[in-house]
């Protein structure tokens, strides 16, 4: 059971919007930024969002992030078949010696 809680799966039709939630606590999301990772099947995870709402170079603005209190949200608009992947949230965690925690992951299915 992960410290950060995500829904196991979400789905929507092409062109629609999905949101993925990530719930934590004061030791992680409540006092630190959140990052999001996309893992397309058979590939390594890739950074999608950092510092809760910033996109690395090359990430389209269809992907957005937000944070409020001890929760964060990843939004994907204009859903494409290529967005079908697993998405993980992550955050610094001051209560852990490894200083970090990942969520359990959410499978996005494009119907």
Q: Which residues bind another protein (CB under 8 A)?
A: 2, 32-33, 35, 37, 39, 44-47, 50-51, 56, 86, 88, 90, 92, 96-105
16 versus 26: smaller Cβ distance to another protein:
26
CB-based burial label for 105 (10 Å; 0-12, 13-18, 19+): buried
- Beta bridge partners, 98, equal none
User: Distance between CA atoms of 63 and 46, rounded to whole angstroms?
Assistant: 13
Rounded to the nearest whole angstrom, what is the least distance from the CB of residue 14 to another protein in the complex?
25
Nearer to another protein, 50 or 62 (CB): 50
- What minimum distance in Å lies between the beta carbon of 26 and another protein? 14
Degrees to nearest 5, angle at CA 102 with 99 and 107? 170
């Amino acid at each position: 059971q992960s410290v950060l809680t995500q829904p196991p799966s979400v789905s929507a039709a092409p062109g629609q919007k999905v949101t993925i939630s990530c719930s934590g606590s004061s030791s992680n999301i409540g006092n630190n930024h959140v990052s999001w990772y996309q893992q397309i099947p058979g590939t390594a995870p890739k950074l999608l969002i950092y510092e809760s709402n910033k996109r690395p170079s090359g990430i389209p603005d269809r992907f957005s992030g937000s944070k409020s209190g001890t929760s964060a949200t990843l939004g994907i608009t204009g859903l494409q078949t290529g967005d079908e992947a697993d998405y993980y949230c992550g955050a610094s965690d001051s209560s852990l010696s490894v200083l970090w925690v990942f969520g359990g992951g959410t499978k996005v299915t494009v119907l």
